[in-house]
Structure 1
Amino acid sequence: MRGGLRVLLLVVFALWLASCQDAEVQIPLAPAGLGVTDTEVTFGSSLALQGHAGYLGQETLRGAMSYLQYVNEQGGVHGRAIRVITRDDSYDPPKCLDNTQRFLIEDQVFGLFCYVGTPTTVKILPLVEEAQVPLLGMFTGANALREPFMPYLINVRASYYQETNAAVEHLVKDLKLTRIAVFYQYDAFGFDGLTGTELALKRFGLEPVARGSYVRGTHDISEGLERIRESGAEAVVMIGTSDPCANFIRKSLENDYSPIFYMVSFVGAKELSRNLLQSDTDRLDVVMSQVVPPPVSSDGTVAESAQEFVRLLEKYFPGEEPNFVGFEGYINAKVLVEGLRRAGRNLSRKSFLEAITAMTNFSLGGDVGLTFGPQDHQGMDKVYFTRLQEGRFILLDDWAQLRREEGQ
């Protein structure tokens, strides 16, 4: 009997072990105080710090850390310093997933912060839901982070749907254009922008006259450009990263093709300007939407909402130029700190999320403010437009400036 029982137990154990080998990594549900000590609260940030989207991660992180370092020097929030563990994912979804698993299992962070990119962030959503961990301040406007509603996600910026909808409205209503094409990155980011553009055009009884795409991480835009150029599109909505978009514009110039080039904010104004520095873009209309106002105007005036950002950036990262991406990172950090402050000393993930969703009219100065709600986890909705002029993007107030002369 004893020998038979021993054999039976060994068989059961072997079956259990085999089932574990095929199982997915299980993230334990977090106790309320995970990632919090008497002196510190810890967040994890996976973002591109190298590769073709590395500039976005670097600028986002600089903007955020300029404010967080300042707060820590003042004693932190309720006596706790804010620690951010960063890991490079090179804008690669599997790397982002691995980084996030390490944050949750090894580092046992309180929350996730300042992720960059649609395909990377979308990849980790099941982990966020399973671990019930706050994810705040993503540098992406993807609709997948907004619908269906997810209680642990806090979006600060406007969505790509809002960006493309506003752009299409200007192109069609103000400029009377009807032939609009879409050039997009062939992944979740590009599909999101494509869908947003199609929905916006549909409101006017239109659809894209052509669609062209490229593979993420490459610069080969030739097939997409040819398809769009042959369509005779008067404007091209571009959903991609800086290098391929700049290459598309340069090749268009070489082929005497000069539609209005419009890009969403993820492209990055500073990096695109740098990529096009040697190109004759003054005779082109290159427009980019932004989800934050210009921190510094063309005449050097610092926006009221950006004065602290500009001052702290110079203090902690001297020589770095204020830009849209960094300003967004700074605003993300402001929301994070305000959420910690309002949650009180007895901090938990639940109290942190409740504190943020109770924010209304949280002012950054000027006309920039954020409002959340229990079922509204996006703080900002406004979209701004900028135009490339003399090597930098400046605020575009009047779309009539883009009207094409006959024959151009």
Structure 2
Amino acid sequence: MNRLPLYAIFVIMFMALLACSSEQGEEPHDQITHGVTDTRIYIGSSLALTGHASFLGSQTLKGALSYINHINEKGGVHGRKIKIIAYDDGYDPPQCLANTQKLIIEDQVFSLFSYVGTPTTVKVLPLIAEARIPLVGIFSGANDFRVPFNRYIINVRASYYEETREAVKYFVEELGFDKIAVFYQYDAYGFDGLKGTELALKEYGLAPVARGSYTRGTLDIEEGLENIIHSGAQAVVMVGTYDACAKFIQISRRQGFNPVFHNVSFVGSEELARILGKEGDGVIVTQVVPPPDSLESQALLSGVQEFTERYRYYYPDEQPNLVALEGFINAKVLVEGLRRAGRNLNRERFIDAIESIQDFSLGIANTLSFSPDNHQGLSRVYFTVIRNGELTLLTDWAKIREMYVKEN
């Protein structure tokens, strides 16, 4: 007998609950102000606080709280303080679905916020559509959250397509490469990065010379690595998490296979650099925010300075990092939307307010803009490179070329 997937059962139960509410005489969705009291605005989040992606989830949350706690200490937004209700999903899609159902039905939050990961977040899209609840800031650049356009999804960061396009451009135009492979996590996240790389290569009349994958939550990279080594790839675009990608790079280099390694931003750059140590020299990571510990960023960008100060104030024992900075920026977008929506707050008015944001300064190199038909606020891609276990801004591709020529 065929059985429905667990996530499908959740969706059916959720819709039934909504139907029951409607039958009991609730007002239409756009007239209900869930999660808002005279003194509080309740915001819900599901993200990995334990497990192999816990660095990403915990730092996203801490970065966001660094700004929200500051706003609350100043009196909140229009006299209301923001309360984040965060549940751990361990980077597990069914658990993310269960958490989201609880946030919407039981906690009745005003908005969802700062979800982490493609395979987890993509499962809650039907709930978001049915409840017509905003989701602000996803730690994912997946195209599923951008196409087709969804009024209730507010993306802040650049997409994986933009990251892989920029990487391929530099590999082909700056380094003269024509043999580029892809190593990816075998799920929605990895497939999106793979497709983005394929589309970028197609613009140059190229295709991946090899593809290798691993299963989410494992470190089983050997088969994928073998496929790519035999291809003679000059560069490898990597779409995974820090533990699996670090193992791939370590084994590659110990076997004498030294292409240019490129990781997309979701990898967890600081953890990747920490695990690799000196073996990480020359590994490239594209970013959607500037690295907070870069001297160039701190000297030139007021938003990076502000984040560093707030983060160190609330978390003095931790090091400011890229993931937390992205959470901090997500929180700035959330707060700006709440401010513009005014005291008479509801979900539709909040989204209208977000759409009114144009050329808004976050104190980083590019401004934030939304519109009624564009819900991705930022599009700039930064390049960083690992040197001596630390990330620095990459501005000189000649050094990468010299390293590649020297090692090959």
CA distance in 2, matches of 1:340, 1:22: 29
AA paired with 2:285? M
AA paired with 1:269? S
Per-residue CA distance 1:335-381 (angstroms, 9 max, x = gap): 00000000000000011000011100110125331000000000000
AA paired with 2:130? E
CA distance in 2, matches of 1:300, 1:357: 28
Contact 1:295 1:305 in 2 (8 A): no
Which structure 2 residues correspond to residues 7-406 of structure 1 after superposition, within 5 A?
A: 23-26=12-15, 27-28=17-18, 30=29, 31-277=31-277, 279-282=278-281, 285-298=282-295, 301-302=298-299, 303-403=301-401, 404-405=404-405
CA distance in 2, matches of 1:21, 1:294: 39
Q: Give me the TM-score of the superposition, normalised by structure 2.
A: 0.92
Assess, with a 3 A threshold, how the Cα gap between structure 1 residues 111 and 397 changes in structure 2: closer, same or farther: same
AA paired with 1:319? D
RMSD of the TM alignment (CA)? 1.7
CA distance in 1, matches of 2:294, 2:245: 24
Deviation at 1:296, TM superposition (A): 2.6
AA paired with 1:288? V
SS across alignment from 1:102: helix
Contact 2:298 2:304 in 1 (8 A): no
Where structure 2 has 5 or more consecutive residues not aligned to the other structure, the ranges are 1-8, 19-27
Bigger CA drift: 77-86 or 391-400? 391-400
Assess, with a 3 A threshold, how the Cα gap between structure 1 residues 135 and 343 changes in structure 2: closer, same or farther: same
Q: Give me the TM-score of the superposition, normalised by structure 1.
A: 0.92
CA distance in 1, matches of 2:348, 2:254: 55
SS across alignment from 1:362: coil
Contact 2:290 2:297 in 1 (8 A): no
Where structure 1 has 5 or more consecutive residues not aligned to the other structure, the ranges are 1-19
Assess, with a 3 A threshold, how the Cα gap between structure 1 residues 53 and 167 changes in structure 2: closer, same or farther: same
Contact 2:10 2:98 in 1 (8 A): no
Assess, with a 3 A threshold, how the Cα gap between structure 1 residues 343 and 22 changes in structure 2: closer, same or farther: closer
CA distance in 2, matches of 1:271, 1:93: 23
Assess, with a 3 A threshold, how the Cα gap between structure 1 residues 364 and 223 changes in structure 2: closer, same or farther: same
AA paired with 1:25? F
The structure that is helix-richer by fraction is 2
